[in-house]
Amino acid sequence: MRGYERCGVKKVVAKNGKSSSTCSRTGLVTPCEGGADGGTTVADQGAVRYHYFEPDTAVPADALRYMHFAVVLGREPTWRCAFMIDLTDVAVLRVPPCNALPTDALFAAIDGSVKRWLSDVVSVTRYNESWSRPFRRFLNRTEPTQESRVLSCSTIGGARTMLMPMLLEAVQRMRAHRRRLESGCCGGQQSALSAAALDMLVWNELALDARVISGFPVGPVNLPPWGSLGSAACQAGNSHRTPATADGVQTFAECKHWWLNATRGSFWMGHKIPAMWLYDYLRWFPSLCRR
């Protein structure tokens, strides 16, 4: 495995205080060169810098990436804010400059209706053997309030003063969980060690003790994942600005189009958004795709 996978399956968008945007493009990526030097060997591809880490198949990539992020961000002295995002399915739309971000808040995307899945993951990973009581209550809550929504690891960021301590704490919890399993205290630990989504569990538990600014429908971080706006939310948000059809009933497709147009520029990222939504944003804001 070389190219993207050899250099890491995710990326960090770090900012020095200036407003900027990026646009993902397909193409051949030169494999990173160098040895297992903990990410100090880099390969520049335009505005993207790839850090080399020796592959580690013992740790699932979703958790391993944060260990790498902590190394890279920890040794860079100049960044003021950063967002850790998925490489292939997150569109960076209109991220504000660092000086516009509150320094005491964590920024994270909101995921879809995945709480039942996350409740299953907590057993598969055996995280329920060491989780906190507040996190257990969080997973048991079913009402759709802001405090009960699942955050997505597709987009996590913030100012350095907030993000770096939380990143280090997340890595510490992941490693502590793995050490407990590796001790062999309870048997059957191998399947739990290789299970995915430990990162989702750790970050959602950490967020319970933090001020969090999230995405749709309660914040600006991300558009609705998969374009799942919901007919009720769509109609409620556009009844005063969207023309009705001849029989007085507006189609859901029309409603979603008008909602996206009315909220243009309000969201910073898009996770798993429909291709047409990204096309509309590129049409509205051509500078998103810098060459």
pLDDT at position 13: 46
With beta carbons less than 8 A apart as the criterion, state whether 255 and 242 touch. yes
The residue count of the chain comes to 291
Look at residue 53 and tell me whether its pLDDT is greater than 70.
yes
Query: Tokens 């497709």 sit at which residue?
Result: 253
List all residues 6 or more positions away from 138 whose beta carbon is below 8 Å from its beta carbon.
147, 148, 204, 205, 208
Three-state DSSP state, 11: strand
Sequence ranges of the domains in the chain: 4-222+274-288, 224-266
List all residues 6 or more positions away from 89 whose beta carbon is below 8 Å from its beta carbon.
154, 271, 272
Residues 232, 234, 240, 244, CA torsion sign: negative
- At 221, is the pLDDT very low, low, confident or very high (cuts 50, 70, 90)? very high
- Average of per-residue pLDDT across 212-227: 90
Q: What is the pLDDT of residues 223-266, one digit of tens each?
A: 988 888 766 666 555 554 444 444 444 566 777 778 888 888 89
- At 63, is the pLDDT very low, low, confident or very high (cuts 50, 70, 90)? very high
pLDDT at position 88: 86
- At 28, is the pLDDT very low, low, confident or very high (cuts 50, 70, 90)? very low
- At 156, is the pLDDT very low, low, confident or very high (cuts 50, 70, 90)? very high
**Arithmetic mean of pLDDT over the chain:** 77
Look at residue 131 and tell me whether its pLDDT is greater than 70.
yes
**How far, in Å, CA of 282 to CA of 257, rounded?**
15
